Amino acid sequence: MEVEIVKIGSNKTLTTLRDLSPTATIQDVKKRIYKTSTKLYPERQALRVDPKGKSLPDETTLETLSLKDEKVLFLKDLGPQIGWKTVFLWEYTGPLVLYLVTYLRPALLYGVEAASVPKHTVVHLAAMCWSIHYCKRIIETLFVHRFSHGTMPIKNLFKNCSYYWLFGLYIGYYINHPLYMPPMFGDLQMYLGLAGFIKNELGNLSIHLALKNLRPPGTKVRKVPVPTSNPFTHLFNFVSCPNYTYEVMSWVCFTIMTQCLPGM
């Protein structure tokens, strides 16, 4: 089987692949293209039957495609790629470090006098909660999450990191400020918010573990998640993505605990 590879944008033939088996997958085609153009490693390629159509899944075989007589596939260069795991580690380490800078080294932002201003209990609790959240995310990235796609465009790294890092600095700046005011309703508000935060962080972790167990290692299997014996997973009966429900509620509770609007 012979397939012409045309590059989207220039409409020029990149290469013509010969002696392809009808049972060859799109992943096999990408590997053959990579041999002819080493810049285009498989993760950087998106192959389509139509230039404006959807990208073909890697497991699709050539014999299942409605290729015309001339047998052409269109290639989109996705640009330099970076691993999802690497992206997540960069995203989550930044806000952890920047927030702790505002907490541990207030003199850098507020002046030397700030170091001698006593911190309210809620400021210490907020730093603990923040650290727990992002340390949990880093650990999940390393040991829990299984990714459908191995990479993403490297330009997205800067966009994603800007969001996480700047919010970490923005929220930390207000909560650790020498003029920060503690919650209006005192210990009751503080500890109710803390309890809610911990509960929802445990719920978020439970859902991530449940989702992990639905996908065997090294596969892209997609199964419908259902509640397990873990009571936190019963939220699957009411919403499609309870991990996000718990995530949102964690930050609602964090905001209640700290009474800091940037947290919300």
Confidence of residue 221 (pLDDT cuts 50, 70, 90): confident
Tokens of 43: 């993760």
Residues 46 and 94 in one domain: no
pLDDT mean across residues, the chain:
94
pLDDT at residue 66, as a whole number = 81
pTM for this prediction: 0.86
Residues 231 and 245 in one domain: yes
Residues 93 and 75 in one domain: no
Residues 195 and 144 in one domain: yes
Question: Which residues neighbour 76 within 8 Å (Cβ) at sequence distance 6 or greater?
Answer: 8, 9, 45, 46, 47, 48, 55
pLDDT at residue 74, as a whole number = 96
The pLDDT of residue 68 is above 80: no
pLDDT at residue 60, as a whole number = 94
Q: Each residue of 72-107: pLDDT tens digit?
A: 999 999 999 999 999 999 999 999 999 999 999 999
Give the domain extent around 54: 3-79
Residues 66 and 93 in one domain: no
SS (H, E, C) 127-185: HHHHHHHHHHHHHHHHHCCCCCCCEEECHHHHHHHHHHHHHHHHHHHHHCCCCCCCCCC
In the chain, the percentage of residues whose pLDDT exceeds 70 is: 100
pLDDT at residue 46, as a whole number = 96
Residues 117 and 180 in one domain: yes
The pLDDT of residue 61 is above 90: yes
Q: Each residue of 4-23: pLDDT tens digit?
A: 999 999 989 999 999 999 99
pLDDT at residue 57, as a whole number = 92
Residues 89 and 208 in one domain: yes
Residues 46 and 129 in one domain: no
Tokens of 260: 């800091």
To 5 degrees, how large is the angle CA 77–CA 82–CA 86? 165
The pLDDT of residue 69 is above 80: no
pLDDT at residue 205, as a whole number = 98
- Tell me the sheet residues that pair with 73: 5
Confidence of residue 203 (pLDDT cuts 50, 70, 90): very high
Residue 104 parent element (H or E): helix 84-104
Residues 119 and 216 in one domain: yes
Instruction: Return d(Cα 136, Cα 188) in angstroms, integer.
Output: 26
The pLDDT of residue 125 is above 80: yes
For residue 50, the domain's CATH number is 3.10.20.90
Which of 45, 79, 113 terminates a domain? The answer is 79
Residues 54 and 179 in one domain: no
Residues 63 and 167 in one domain: no
Residues 169 and 230 in one domain: yes
